[in-house]
């Protein structure tokens, strides 16, 4: 209860401070009252959804996700505005103190806020506010196909030009637009890749979230099959279950669902992709992540039937596994495919210029291709979304990787 009181007090204080900027920038009362009403509506809906309106058994239902999304947008607007006002207020206090002690003023006089600074602050604050709203209503389904060519000297000849499509982090429990998902499924199939690899998090918490989408995802196709691994959300660890048996049954149902949809789920195991007399090893580990995430992955068990000299592709949901266990391993893993980070679903990316998201402070490898000791990892930005019900700048991704034989000359 205390944390609710503190949080609401902090929110209202930010709102009061932001209102001062609005009063400086505009003399129209309707502007002020609109901001007050919107602020109260957002915090009221958030409190309702996370208390009285909470759906039992689900961490983030759609109404809760949107309540959270609107709150984040409003907080971003308020905090940036307050930063501008606070910096100006510090200057006003220092200026008033200097004038008073210098004798030019008989009393402390802070002066009025400058309108143009309030306008600048509000204008800048409106950018992330608008971006977050755009991400909620348009950006989360702005699917992008990102294509990479990876060259290897030891790639088996028959696999020269072999094409892989990777998707990750479906989070089917968050979907709210079937036509957009149908479009994305068609986009995946249009790539006509040799193999489709899914790197975990089919659901948010429960296998039942995938039931409405089972038939649609069953239409995904690739010449050499569809393979998958589990992500941290697939185990159902983030909700309270009535019994341990119910949680176990949920996981088994999810495994069965993947099989019914045509996915070969690889659980600390390996498979071989064969073309003529050549083959490459496909290794899949269960989720392994540092920082409190589940560590069910067993790389040693997964690679046990794979020869050291084989060309190897590893599927591991959490990219922290790559640096912690994969790169230092005595086997050489040519390509690791991961997801998990979502690129935090918010950031700035201009190819060749900038790639930034706050998630970079948590994960060293968070989006795209990275290389270490001659081994590569691709971190997929994710197909779906979770928590904040949107994306801006870090768009939902379908990765297409073409393997090429590197010339020795």
Query: Is 377 in the same domain as 396?
Result: yes
H-helix or E-strand containing 370?
strand 368-372
Range of the domain at 128: 2-137
Query: Is 291 in the same domain as 384?
Result: yes
Choosing from 87, 116, 137, the residue where a domain stops is 137
Query: Is 98 in the same domain as 149?
Result: no
Query: Is 324 in the same domain as 189?
Result: yes
Choosing from 109, 137, 165, the residue where a domain stops is 137
Q: Residues 6 or more apart from 204 whose CB is under 8 A from it?
A: 58, 59, 60, 171, 172, 173, 174, 233, 238, 386
Residue count of the chain? 409
Query: Is 82 in the same domain as 146?
Result: no
Q: Give the Cα separation of 142 and 381 in Å (integer).
A: 12
CA geometry: angle 397, 387, 235, nearest 5 deg: 85
Copy the structure tokens of residue 234. Answer: 């697939």
Choosing from 104, 137, 170, the residue where a domain stops is 137
Query: Is 145 in the same domain as 271?
Result: yes
Query: Is 366 in the same domain as 231?
Result: yes
Q: Residues 6 or more apart from 375 whose CB is under 8 A from it?
A: 326, 327, 332, 333, 334, 335, 336
DSSP annotation of 224 reads T
Exposed (0-12), middle (13-18) or buried (19+): which is 153, by Cβ within 10 Å?
A: exposed
Nearest to 82 by CA among 16, 4, 23: 16
pLDDT of residue 110: 45
Query: Is 122 in the same domain as 225?
Result: no
Query: Is 132 in the same domain as 239?
Result: no
Nearest to 333 by CA among 319, 352, 349, 351: 319
Query: Is 123 in the same domain as 165?
Result: no
Q: How many CB atoms lie within 10 A of CB 54?
A: 14
Nearest to 155 by CA among 408, 407, 404: 404
* CA end-to-end span of the chain: 69
**How many Cα atoms sit within 13 Å of 251 on the Cβ side?**
18
Contact by Cβ (8 Å): 317, 354: no
CA geometry: angle 363, 196, 340, nearest 5 deg: 20
Q: Residues 6 or more apart from 345 whose CB is under 8 A from it?
A: 135, 140, 382, 385, 387, 388, 390, 391, 392, 394
pLDDT per residue as tens, the chain (409 positions): 788 899 999 999 999 989 988 888 888 999 999 999 999 999 999 999 988 776 655 567 788 999 999 999 999 999 999 887 776 666 555 555 545 565 555 554 444 556 777 788 889 999 999 999 999 999 999 999 999 999 999 999 999 999 999 999 999 999 999 999 999 999 999 999 999 999 999 999 999 999 999 999 999 999 999 999 999 999 999 999 999 999 999 999 999 999 999 999 999 999 999 999 999 999 999 999 998 899 999 999 999 999 999 999 999 999 999 999 999 999 999 999 999 999 999 999 988 899 999 999 999 999 999 999 999 999 999 999 999 999 999 999 999 999 999 887 6
What CATH number should be reported for the domain holding residue 189? 3.60.21.10
Query: Is 60 in the same domain as 128?
Result: yes
Compute the Cα dihedral for 131, 135, 137, 138 and give only its sign: positive
Query: Is 165 in the same domain as 254?
Result: yes
pTM of the model: 0.90
Q: How many domains does the chain have?
A: 2
């Amino acid at each position: 209860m205390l944390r609710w009181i503190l949080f609401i007090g902090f929110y209202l204080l930010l709102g009061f401070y932001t209102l001062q900027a609005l009063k400086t920038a505009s003399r129209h009362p309707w502007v002020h009252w609109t901001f007050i009403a919107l602020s109260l509506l957002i915090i009221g809906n958030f409190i309702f959804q996370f208390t009285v309106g909470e759906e039992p058994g689900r961490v983030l239902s759609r109404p809760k996700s949107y309540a959270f999304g609107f709150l984040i947008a409003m907080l971003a607007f308020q905090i940036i505005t307050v930063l501008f006002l606070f910096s100006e207020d510090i200057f006003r206090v220092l200026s008033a103190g200097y004038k008073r002690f210098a004798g030019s003023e008989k009393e402390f006089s802070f002066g009025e806020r400058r309108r143009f600074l309030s306008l600048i602050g509000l204008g800048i604050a409106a950018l992330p506010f608008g971006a977050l709203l755009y991400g909620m209503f348009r950006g989360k389904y702005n699917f992008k196909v990102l294509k990479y060519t990876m060259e290897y000297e030891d790639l088996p000849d028959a696999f020269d030009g072999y094409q892989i499509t990777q998707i990750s982090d479906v989070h089917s429990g968050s979907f709210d637009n079937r036509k957009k998902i149908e479009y994305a499924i068609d986009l995946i199939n249009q790539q006509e890749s040799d193999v489709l690899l899914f790197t975990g998090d089919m659901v948010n918490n429960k296998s039942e979230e995938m039931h409405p989408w089972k038939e649609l995802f069953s239409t995904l196709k690739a010449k050499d099959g569809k393979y998958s691994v589990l992500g941290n959300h697939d185990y159902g660890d983030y909700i309270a279950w009535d019994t341990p048996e119910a949680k176990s049954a949920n996981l088994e149902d999810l495994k069965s669902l993947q099989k019914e949809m045509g996915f070969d789920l690889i659980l600390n195991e390996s498979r071989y992709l064969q073309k003529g007399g050549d083959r490459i090893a496909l290794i899949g580990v269960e989720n392994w992540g540092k920082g409190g995430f589940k560590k069910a992955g067993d790389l040693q068990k997964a690679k046990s039937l794979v020869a050291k000299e084989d060309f190897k592709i590893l599927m591991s949901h959490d990219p922290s596994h790559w640096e912690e266990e994969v790169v230092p391993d005595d086997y050489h893993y040519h390509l690791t495919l991961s997801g998990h980070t979502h690129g935090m679903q918010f950031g700035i990316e201009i190819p060749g210029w900038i790639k930034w998201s706050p998630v970079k402070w948590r994960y060293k490898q968070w989006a795209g291709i990275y290389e270490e000791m001659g081994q590569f990892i691709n971190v997929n930005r994710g197909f779906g979304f979770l928590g904040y019900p949107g994306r801006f700048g870090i768009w939902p991704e379908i990765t297409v990787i073409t393997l090429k034989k590197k010339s020795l000359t």
